[in-house]
């Protein structure tokens, strides 16, 4: 471990111990909170998982909202996401969640205040806390943590992508193993749920050569998935995660596509949101969605969440 990683890890461990011992306070909302998070900085698939889990909850008749920081937005404070709005006000991932699920999504640096707004306006049965594993100031009733094979070999920030050491997985209620894991598995404590999910793309049936571009945490995975789906990728370009496209970027992409003989462009749903009005300048433009599904039937996940909701509500009654 590097010196910087050791210093960072020491600070994270101290903070977690203070929360574990009750020396740092937590705020609790009236409705139960289920957190979906990871120990790595980007690329674990939290947004597709929230969308998949939200779809399952809707099928089960559970009313819920989503609380998010709204990473990458230019606005401040607590805001109810307008699904027809833009990423600069709400953030790209909250917009994608709102459009896909059709449920209230509230963004705010203070997730407790976001939850209070949600409870005042909607009275949902449940709050889904997006990217909440490190947001320990808000009490939660069930902690879901996504883990990739890459996380097991990674190192702490700033040299690696881990926001916490692997030992932090012990405080999770459930671990979600993304894609294929070999014999090497993350540390699993007794009683901890372990769910496996498969991640894939819904690629268009297109024969023409495409120029692929994206602004996501791990662009190489997107390009590989396109090739595996049979898309003819003539060239690629990656931008930093959550990048807000400008007119000059689109002009550069158009020129790069011409240089490599591409006759179409292809990108992700999140990038389509960040392109906004500039998307019309890249035609034809194909948009690829990312989908997740449980390797099993997924019923255990909903059952465990409902049990956590029941425990929360019983505690509220006793209070």
Q: Would you say residue 19 has pLDDT above 70?
A: yes
Q: What pLDDT, on a 0 to 100 scale, did the predictor assign at position 306?
A: 96
The one-character DSSP state at 295 is S
| Rg (the chain; Cα; Å) | 20
The domain made up of 3-198+294-318 is a member of CATH 3.40.50.300: yes
Model pTM?
0.95
Measured over the CA atoms of residue 118, residue 47, residue 154 and residue 239, the dihedral's sign is: negative
> What band does 141 get if pLDDT is binned at 50, 70 and 90?
very high
User: What is the pLDDT averaged over residues 137-162?
Assistant: 95
Summarised one tens digit per residue, pLDDT across range 120-130 is 999 999 999 99
> What band does 316 get if pLDDT is binned at 50, 70 and 90?
confident
> What band does 104 get if pLDDT is binned at 50, 70 and 90?
very high
Other residues' Cβ atoms within 10 Å of the Cβ of residue 224? 12
Taking all residues of the chain, what is their mean pLDDT, rounded to a whole number? 95
Q: Would you say residue 319 has pLDDT above 80?
A: no
Alpha-carbon distance 292 to 148, whole Å? 14
Place of tokens 């289920």: 34
CB 135 within 8 A of CB 38: no
Residues 6+ apart with CB under 8 A from 12: 156, 163, 164, 165, 168
Summarised one tens digit per residue, pLDDT across range 227-267 is 999 999 999 999 999 999 999 999 999 999 999 999 999 99
Percent of the chain whose predicted confidence (pLDDT) is above 90: 92
What distance lies between CA 6 and its chain's CA centroid? 27
Alpha-carbon distance 133 to 107, whole Å? 16
Place of tokens 């005042």: 120
- Helices 46-59 and 92-101 pack at an angle, to 10 degrees, of 20
Alpha-carbon distance 213 to 210, whole Å? 10
**If DSSP codes are grouped into helix, strand and coil, which group holds residue 39?**
coil
211: left (phi over 0), alpha (psi -120 to 50) or beta: beta
228, burial (CB in 10 Å: exposed 0-12, middle 13-18, buried 19+): exposed
Q: What pLDDT, on a 0 to 100 scale, did the predictor assign at position 296?
A: 84
Residues 6+ apart with CB under 8 A from 40: 148, 150, 151, 154, 161, 162, 163
What are the structure tokens assigned to 100, written together? 């896909």
What are the structure tokens assigned to 152, written together? 């097991």
> What band does 15 get if pLDDT is binned at 50, 70 and 90?
very high
What are the structure tokens assigned to 247, written together? 């007119």
What ranges do the domains of the chain cover? 3-198+294-318, 209-283
User: What is the pLDDT averaged over residues 25-49?
Assistant: 95
Alpha-carbon distance 122 to 292, whole Å? 28
């Amino acid at each position: 471990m590097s010196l910087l990683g050791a210093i960072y890890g020491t600070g994270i461990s101290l903070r977690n111990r203070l929360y574990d011992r009750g020396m740092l306070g937590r705020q609790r909302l009236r409705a139960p909170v289920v957190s979906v998070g990871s120990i790595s900085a980007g690329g674990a698939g939290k947004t597709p998982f929230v969308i998949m889990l939200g779809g399952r909850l809707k099928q089960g008749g559970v009313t819920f909202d989503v609380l998010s920081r709204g990473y990458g937005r230019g606005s401040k404070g607590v805001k109810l996401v307008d699904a027809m709005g833009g990423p600069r006000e709400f953030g790209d991932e909250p917009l994608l969640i709102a459009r896909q699920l059709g449920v209230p999504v509230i963004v705010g640096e203070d997730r407790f205040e976001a939850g209070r707004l949600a409870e005042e306006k909607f009275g949902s049965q449940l709050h889904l806390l997006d990217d909440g594993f490190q947001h320990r100031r808000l009490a939660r009733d069930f902690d879901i943590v996504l883990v990739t094979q890459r996380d097991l070999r990674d190192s702490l920030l700033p040299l690696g992508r881990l926001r916490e050491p692997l030992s932090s997985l012990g405080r999770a209620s459930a671990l979600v193993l993304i894609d294929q894991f070999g014999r090497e598995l993350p540390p699993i404590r007794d009683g901890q749920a372990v769910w496996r999910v498969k991640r894939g793309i819904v690629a268009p049936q297109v024969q023409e050569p495409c120029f692929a571009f994206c602004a996501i945490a791990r662009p190489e995975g997107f390009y590989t998935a396109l090739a595996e789906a049979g898309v003819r990728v003539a060239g690629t370009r990656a931008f930093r995660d959550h990048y807000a496209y400008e007119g000059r970027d689109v002009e550069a992409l158009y020129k790069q596509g011409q240089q490599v003989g591409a006759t179409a462009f292809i990108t992700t749903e999140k990038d389509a949101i960040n392109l906004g009005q500039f998307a019309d300048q890249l035609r034809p433009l194909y948009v690829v969605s990312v989908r997740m599904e449980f390797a099993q039937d997924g019923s255990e996940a909903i059952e465990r969440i409902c049990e956590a909701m029941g425990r929360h509500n019983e505690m509220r009654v006793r209070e």
